[in-house]
A and B are shown apart, each in its own frame.
Chain A
Amino acid sequence: MRRIISVLMENAPGSLSRVVGLFSQRGYNIESLTVAPTEDETLSRLTLTTVGDDHKIEQITKHLNKLIDVVKLVDLTEGAHIEREVMLIKVKAAGAQRAEIKRCVDIFRGQIVDVTASLYIIQITGTSDKLDAFLQSVGDASILEVVRSGVSGIARGEKVLSL
């Protein structure tokens, strides 16, 4: 099953490499990874998505927790949560295609953030599934370049991941 694990850790040199190293060392896979400092600049918030059965996920969370730099972590997929990913995509957009793509962008509530005579740069935000769906509807033929941010997530309701 796909899991979103959110980690609060010391914003210290080497802490990211320890997280990434743990995954390769123990043969766990990372599907996506995002990391940035939080409002408290001594802390970073890292969100990663991974797949595995319950036993594997339990081991992953235990090993992450063991890292000295990790303050706290939560498996967001265990409860109600909001997840978002941002995608920037450069597509061919000429002639009749332009209107077609524009319509598609509107349906997915994306934005066209840059325009030339022959292409658009589109920005879309949403769950990973939604981004996948958008890519499918635009079609490989017109896609020139895709950049995805990886998933970020936060638990719904009162639950807070903080010191």
Chain B
Amino acid sequence: MLIRSLRDEGVKYLFGYPGGAALHIYDAIFRQQDVQHILVRHEQAATHAADAYSRATGEVGTVLVTSGPGATNAITGIATAYMDSIPMVVISGQVMSHLIGEDAFQETDMVGISRPIVKHSFMIKHPSEIPEVVKKAYYIARSGRPGPVVIDVPKDLTSPFETFPYEYPEKVKIRSYTPATRGHAGQIKKAAQLLLEARRPVIYAGGGVVQGNGSELLTNLAKKLNYPVTNTLMGLGAYPGTDPQFLGMLGMHGTYEANMAMHHADVIFAVGARFDDRVTNAVKQFCPNAKIIHVDVDPASISKTVTADIPIVGSVESVLSEMLALILEGEEKPEEGAIASWWTQINEWRERHGLYTAPRYDNSGEKIMPQDVIKTLHEVTGGDAYVTSDVGQHQMFTAQYYLFDKPRRWINSGGLGTMGFGLPAAMGAQMADRDAVVACVTGEGSIQMCIQELSTCTQYHLPIKIICLNNQALGMVRQWQDMQYSSRYSESLYEDSLPDFVKLAESYGHVGIRVTKKEELKAKMEECFAMKDRVVFMDISVDTSEHVYPMQVAGAAMRDMWLSKTERT
């Protein structure tokens, strides 16, 4: 009943791991061919892979785990998806109904444990309700502000010995759930007006534009107006990274030009972005002269941290297309003179301290600079790979230097910042597009959090390329210790205990490449990507003391940044 429902929902892949409470379900999987199961090596990886599948395709990723430890292992991945508003359905086996509440073997209150990190959850009470619950779960996961949904299924309710008439519902209606779609017409009009009157506008676009398929509309709008665009970490790819109107990422590790433009803007057009604290810095000092238009499908995102002058609750797709129509049809044009001098100002910032125009790090020495690895990766992959990442300095360098021209290509954990995300996420992306080039940029710290998935890659022939920026440290932690704790490296170093990653990769049947010299980087990277059907692990020794810059000065305004170890705005 469950697997049939999944098939009828259009689910192609299930990422999961079996166990007692899920065995009836696993038997049903065995006896059909429509839904393919991917056996991971740890349930956390199943959730990250399904999550990345969803990020890459826009479809809802699906996870299947058993009760107890299977369910609790999935928690980190559910929280990761929740924080980044990714649609996902997690089916967890549960002990038999009559044992619930008795501390039965492998019993965990999954609905309870997952409650704060799901959009909604269901506990199946009777087998006959399975099709309807499945339908509702997918609908809730993907509509409105997307998010993970848990379905907890007691073992006895999936028993093959009991059968019920099966019908998969065509439609769902949930009387208590009516997510917004179209924005308020009057508000959209007001917003278009304000946008056209702006003299120093910035378009601040986030993950909602990527997930809500609004990239093309956003690009058209920005092009039409000739306004500068900045993306959040989650929004990268929503606007083409190599376009001259793109200012780069904003926020804590955003570019000088993006943060300066935000601080001095008179109108900020925020779309599908949630004014995260990693973006705004101190809210009280945030963009003092700006009027804010905020488009978000979730009313609770609007005016949560920064008050919006023109709030619009609606999906980016519908709001942007209405707005674009208004601007295309209307007589009014942007203030050309003002916009031209705004660009003069922005270009001056760019020339002074820009990430792509001024040298922002010193690569004259012997050492391989992590930034150069990312630039080389961009070059070798033609800027067109799916790039997943883990969490740390390598993640920020990738966000800064791999200029994503397309949405859904950049897959990382922003809201929760989950180390261990990168490798399983790469598997999910590769499942989404079997022919695509998929690279996982990671650190020697993060990769060890889900390293076991190298085995899954072998089983399913997922030829992922792992680009490990090995700086011999929990680099991001060390950077903070350098900056705030007088370089007291408390527990951020490994004392020569790192494994030989090349041999490790080889033991899984993969190829390992070690890079220690600057001159060989590009050739070895090319060699790596030429092995199209192999998993390749590139262990690249990079400068161990490099920091990520710019970095906003804590507790200050957007424009207050460290530009290097010694230079401040």
Contact = CB atoms under 8 A, between A and B. Distances in A.
Contact of A68 (B111, B119, B304): B119
Contact of A69 (B116, B123, B176, B298): B176
B177 A68 contact: yes
B300 A14 contact: no
B514 interface: no
B140 interface: yes
B24 interface: no
Interface string A24-64: 01000000000000000000000000000001001100110
A93 interface: no
Nearest to A66: B300
A136 interface: no
Contacts of B111: 14
Interface string B285-317: 000000000000011100110000000000000
Contact of B300 (A9, A13, A59): A59
A58 B304 CA distance: 9
Closest CB pairs A-B (n = 6)? A62-B300, A71-B176, A68-B120, A25-B116, A68-B177, A62-B299
B112 interface: yes
Contacts of A55: 303
Contact of A58 (B175, B176, B303): B303
Nearest to B120: A68
A163 B176 CA distance: 9
A55 B307 CA distance: 10
Given A13-B123, A13-B125, A63-B300, 11 more contacts: A14-B121, A18-B115, A65-B299, A66-B298, A66-B300, A68-B119, A68-B140, A68-B174, A68-B177, A70-B176, A71-B175
Nearest to B122: A14
Contacts of B299: 62, 65-66
Q: Which of B123, B174, B177, B298 has most chain A Cβ within 10 Å?
A: B177
Nearest to B304: A59
A144 to B, nearest CB: 35
A21 B300 contact: no
Contacts of A68: 119-120, 140, 174, 176-177
Main secondary structure of the interface of A (DSSP, over half): helix
Q: How large is the interface on B (under 10, 10 to 19, 20 to 34, 35 or more residues)?
A: 10 to 19
A129 to B, nearest CB: 32
Q: How large is the interface on A (under 10, 10 to 19, 20 to 34, 35 or more residues)?
A: 20 to 34
26 contacts: A9-B176, A13-B123, A14-B111, A14-B115, A14-B121, A14-B123, A17-B112, A17-B115, A18-B115, A21-B115, A21-B116, A25-B116, A55-B303, A58-B303, A63-B300, A66-B298, A66-B299, A66-B300, A68-B119, A68-B140, A68-B174, A68-B176, A69-B176, A70-B176, A71-B176, A163-B175
Contacts of B120: 68
B110 to A, nearest CB: 11
Nearest to A62: B300
A14 B112 CA distance: 9
B293 to A, nearest CB: 19
Contacts of B174: 68
Contacts of B116: 21, 25
Nearest to A15: B176
A65 to B, nearest CB: 7
Interface in A56-114: 58-59, 62-63, 65-66, 68-71
Interface in B398-418: none
B300 A10 contact: no
A65 B177 CA distance: 9
A13 B152 CA distance: 13
A58 B175 CA distance: 23
Given A17-B112, A68-B120, A10 B303 contact: no
Contacts of A65: 299
A60 B174 CA distance: 22
A72 to B, nearest CB: 8
Interface string A147-159: 0000000000000
Nearest to A163: B175
Nearest to B115: A21
Interface string A1-14: 00000000110011
Contacts of A18: 115
A54 B121 CA distance: 30
Interface in B147-193: 174-177
Contacts of B123: 13-14
A69 B140 CA distance: 12
Interface string B436-471: 000000000000000000000000000000000000
A38 B118 CA distance: 27
Contacts of A70: 176
Interface in B361-398: none
Contacts of B112: 17
A9 B300 CA distance: 19
Interface in B262-300: 298-300
Contacts of A71: 175-176
B286 to A, nearest CB: 15
A127 B121 CA distance: 37
Contacts of A10: 176
Interface string B83-126: 00000000000000000000000000001100110011101010
Nearest to B302: A62
A50 to B, nearest CB: 16
Interface in B49-73: none
Contacts of A58: 303
A59 B116 CA distance: 16
A9 B177 CA distance: 11
A63 B304 CA distance: 11
Contacts of B300: 59, 62-63, 66
A35 B115 CA distance: 20
Nearest to B299: A62
A58 B299 CA distance: 10
B151 to A, nearest CB: 13
Q: Which of A10, A14, A17 has the most CB of B within 10 A?
A: A14
B9 to A, nearest CB: 18
A27 to B, nearest CB: 12
Nearest to A70: B176
A40 to B, nearest CB: 11
